[in-house]
Structure 1
Amino acid sequence: MRFLLTLALAACAALASCATSGDCEALYAASPQRQGCVFVNLPNPQAKPNASGWAIWSRFLFEAKVNAVPVDPIPVQPLTVAQLEALDANANHVVRLGHSSHLLKLGGRYWLIDPVFGERASPVGFAGPKRFHAPPIALQALPPIEGVIVSHDHYDHLDKPTIEYLAGAGRVQRFFVPLGVKARLVDMGVQADRVQEFDWWQSADHAGVVLTATPAQHFSGRTLTDRNRTLWAGWVLQTGEQKIYYSSDSGYFGGFKQIGERLGGFDLALIENGAYDAYWSAVHMTPEETAQAFADVRARVLYPVHNSTFDLAMHPWRDPLDRLAKLADQHQITLATPEIGEVLTVGQPRANRRWWVDLK
């Protein structure tokens, strides 16, 4: 209850400081995803209904969680710039920082996806979901970053302290975001001319990487009254002959098959697997749906994300990985579950370890 009150107060404070457009219907009106002042998902008659906001908050208030937070420490492999520099500049590497945050070295240059280095996924630093582990490398120790990719504006994907530091340190060349998120970054201190916005299926080439924003079935918002004022998106990154897909947050929908048909043949697919619940099944996938999405997008290796860092749902913290690992065994899915800080080199053989199985 104390957290919810704090969250409400923080939201009210944010609302008081938010600038609003008097002509919101004209803003981004050319986007097929725009209806009036908000963005919408693709039509999906098969989408499972979400429970009401009151029902969801009541569960968080009154339902006891079981094993939602790990007792044992999450293993973290410390990472140094020297280790990063030693990685083959002619290959593509992915390092898990936690949750959906990743550091990539693509063709010798560094990129970040949804970087969250803050202690909490929350509008305030003293309350809200607290991370289970430290990042494998300090924010201040990061090498110069060629590009930062943001999928949507939720607090577990767009972290204000992280963005403010990156903007103030001047260590990022470009930011790539869905429609509407540019204003968020500018408010956090990022220079407007360093931010490029994308609608679904739009592409751009930067530093040898072709980026394409892809559809997702989700929602956006950081306060009580700005729901869906910004767009949400997955991303495809192609560098050389290799392609990486990042689903971002999404419920299961037909868009995954569209992505597979238009862009598929991915060497690696980072797909959401965590923070699901029957009460919000339209916007997050179960492990079974994650496995189906992986088949739909036509990828070679499944790399589950959005788990093992924050307590954002009712399920036990190990449930996403346990269930997906079982499915991988049943369906001969090549599964990659690197530890926090572990380097995965795209397209290279690796011994996958299920690091969580002996943890409580």
Structure 2
Amino acid sequence: MKRIVKVFRKILILLLLIITVLGIVTFFYMRREEFGALPEGKRLELIKASSHYKDGRFRNIVERPTLTKGYSMPGVLYETLFTKFPHRSPVDSLPSIKTNLKALNIHDNAYVWFGHSSFFLQLDGVKILVDPVFSGKASPIPGSVTAYKGSDIYTVADLPEIDYLLLSHDHYDHLDYETIKELQKKTKHVVCGLGNGAHFERWGYTPDQIIEKDWYESVNVKPGFTIFTESTHHDSGRGFRSGQALWLSFLIQTPSMQVYYSGDGGRDDRFKSIGSKYGKIDWAIMECGQYNKAWQSVHELPEEVALGTKELGAQNLLPVHNSKFTLANHPWKEPLEKITALSKNQSYRLATPMIGELVHLDKTDQKFNEWWKNVQ
């Protein structure tokens, strides 16, 4: 019996040592610059003044659990780790087009998608970059979430000077440390939610470059051109503390059109209210991918994307948040297959450009192929 007790004590001591070493390694690893920074000082005081900040973190308009009723975190983790899901990533290289962004006609209203939720807009001569991720990864853990073959053809060097960089939220698949560091010298302004400026300042951006906004505010670009910051139902965080920086969607209003970007977020009444508030929306760029019924609260299913697009009153739909990273268990091409089927005979037109393909936003007759069909 004494021998068993001694063995048990040794095992317990060894486990404690392992836990301690892992804790120390994690502590120092998470002090790396790529994890960003938490807001403090005047920035934190501004955050505390927001009506959307309560009990030490930002809150969604309607609070609800992240996990859908009937699901549990241990169950979801077990399923992810031990269940094999087919076709989560493509075997083939994705087809793409390398558009010369620096040679675009300044008078053209244009959109170019870089895969997932990264895209470039040129509207009324203003160059806008959204949620750029060009490092080939979407996780701080090396080798864990990497870009599909063929999806990562652009670099920061391929971009023109950027007037406004829009950030929807600070998760790694939207806020990429390496990309943001490289962009500092060619970006005039960053528009982001309250608290996110702490990341940018740590990474070398000046206070003059950073514009932090709450929901339902605006940035006046020039006469007739305004960027409005709207709500979404999501979360934020790059470490152990979540909800320290605000998540956004954007409505871009120009003299010739209105473009809406949903950011990430589960379904709520925002699409109806945004459609009513702004009137005709020419293009809706909507999150459509990396979903699961277990976390439907914070990522919409394709049928909810189709419904939200109709509620916005959008004329055209561009689905994003797919075709670059595997962050969910569904087949990689399922979001595009489902939204294509759901968009038939709808009030809006679906546009499905391949990565890098130039979309002429003033044209309503531009054709797009179902490029994913023959990709394995």
| Structures share fold, TM-score greater than 0.5 | yes
Residue 319 (structure 2) aligns with: 304
Residue 70 (structure 1) aligns with: 90
Match of 1:345 among 348, 354, 360: 360
Residue 200 (structure 1) aligns with: 215
Residues of 2 paired with 1:60 and 1:341: CA distance? 31
Cα deviation, residue 13, structure 1: 2.4
Does the CA-based 8 Å contact 2:44-2:195 persist in structure 1? no
Match runs of 1:183-332 below 5 Å: 183-207=198-222, 209-224=225-240, 226-331=241-346
Cα deviation, residue 279, structure 1: 1.2
Does the CA-based 8 Å contact 2:190-2:209 persist in structure 1? yes
Residue 127 (structure 1) aligns with: 143
Cα deviation, residue 123, structure 1: 1.5
Letter in 2 for 1:141: D
1:38 matched to 2:53? The reply is no
Partner SS for 1:184? helix
Cα 1:122–1:300 shift into 2, 3 Å: same
Does the CA-based 8 Å contact 2:166-2:192 persist in structure 1? yes
Letter in 1 for 2:97: Q
Partner SS for 1:300? strand
Residues of 2 paired with 1:330 and 1:131: CA distance? 33
Cα 1:25–1:262 shift into 2, 3 Å: same
Residue 134 (structure 2) aligns with: 117
Cα 1:343–1:212 shift into 2, 3 Å: same
Residues of 2 paired with 1:64 and 1:12: CA distance? 34
Cα deviation, residue 65, structure 1: 2.0
Residues of 1 paired with 2:125 and 2:340: CA distance? 32
Deviations 1:210-234 (A, max 9, x none): 101111011111112x211111010
Does the CA-based 8 Å contact 2:228-2:251 persist in structure 1? yes
Does the CA-based 8 Å contact 2:130-2:167 persist in structure 1? yes
Residues of 2 paired with 1:148 and 1:273: CA distance? 21
Does the CA-based 8 Å contact 2:90-2:332 persist in structure 1? yes
Cα deviation, residue 344, structure 1: 0.9
Question: Which range moved further: 173-182 or 115-124?
Answer: 115-124
Residues of 1 paired with 2:99 and 2:207: CA distance? 31
Letter in 1 for 2:107: N
Identical-pair percentage: 31
Residues of 2 paired with 1:179 and 1:246: CA distance? 18
Cα deviation, residue 354, structure 1: 1.1
Does the CA-based 8 Å contact 1:25-1:37 persist in structure 2? no
Cα deviation, residue 238, structure 1: 1.3
Letter in 2 for 1:85: A
Cα 1:291–1:19 shift into 2, 3 Å: closer
CA RMSD of aligned residues (A): 2.5
Cα deviation, residue 141, structure 1: 2.5
Residues of 2 paired with 1:359 and 1:345: CA distance? 25
Match of 1:96 among 98, 109, 113: 113
Residues of 1 paired with 2:59 and 2:146: CA distance? 30
Matched positions, count: 347
Based on CA coordinates, which of the two structures has the bigger radius of gyration? 2
Residues of 2 paired with 1:59 and 1:20: CA distance? 35
Does the CA-based 8 Å contact 1:29-1:36 persist in structure 2? no
Q: Which runs of 5+ in 2 are unaligned?
A: 1-21
Residues of 1 paired with 2:249 and 2:76: CA distance? 25
Letter in 2 for 1:154: H
Q: Which runs of 5+ in 1 are unaligned?
A: 1-5
Residues of 2 paired with 1:351 and 1:318: CA distance? 20
TM-score (norm 2): 0.86
Residues of 1 paired with 2:269 and 2:65: CA distance? 9
Letter in 1 for 2:96: V
Letter in 2 for 1:148: L
Does the CA-based 8 Å contact 1:15-1:223 persist in structure 2? no
Cα deviation, residue 78, structure 1: 1.2
Residue 3 (structure 1) aligns with: none
TM-score (norm 1): 0.89
